[in-house]
Structure 1
């Protein structure tokens, strides 16, 4: 089965696993997903991830270790902003503030995948991948 939005699928898997209090979730691997997970790990939304070689299939998986505080998931909401059918771009001076600065927007820039705060510091805009709170 072909997935039309692999990053959106990863977010849905993370959201579903956290609702069921799973300690980790497996997602198909890609370089872009690794960069997004790196940004999520820097901001403390996940405990980490590792690449797992799958013997049955020809592609690798990422084992995402989810993070909980007192039994509650750290990620309250994760929403995809820029989608394959409608890309959303912004300049650095009009980057969104997610929940008045309590959340994080992940941006794809010419410097790589950055959080909204990192993009403001570097004064660079780009494609808004998702909002996390």
Structure 2
């Protein structure tokens, strides 16, 4: 897999659609940052790191039997990168969702990037 972050997002989305209780993704630097953001935003439960298999296992969060993560869209791809300035950062569903941005300061939500005055590559939108 050449684009690990898309693989991680797809695994999480498919696990939610199949109503699994947990999902395992390969541990990479971007995947680790992505999981931290999803955990801080309340979309997944606390992740566990397995050093033997170099993977991250996380519980999926359900609220009243409905997934906490309704949908996600991968925006930037290897064939078409999408870069935004700090003025162009999107608001997802009027602030109910989260956009994940890759900046010079690492992966962060669009709210954090706006506070720090950073633009960057729009990785995905999650709601």
Indicate the TM-score class for this superposition, using the shorter chain for normalisation: over 0.9
**Are 1:95 and 2:89 counterparts?**
yes
Q: Mark the runs of 5 or more structure 1 residues left unpaired by the alignment.
A: none
Q: Deviations over 1:98-130 (max 9, x none)?
A: 112111000011121110111111111111111
TM-score, with normalisation over the residues of structure 2? 0.94
Higher radius of gyration, 1 or 2 = 1
Superposed structure 1 runs of 4+ greater than 2 Å apart: none
Match of 2:101 among 101, 107, 111: 107
TM-score, with normalisation over the residues of structure 1? 0.90
**Residues 104, 131 of structure 1: 8 Å contact kept:** yes
- The residue that corresponds to 1:36 in the other structure is 34
Matches within 5 A, 1:57-72: 60-72=54-66
Aligned Cα RMSD in Å?
1.2
Q: How many residues align?
A: 127
Match of 1:48 among 46, 49, 56: 46
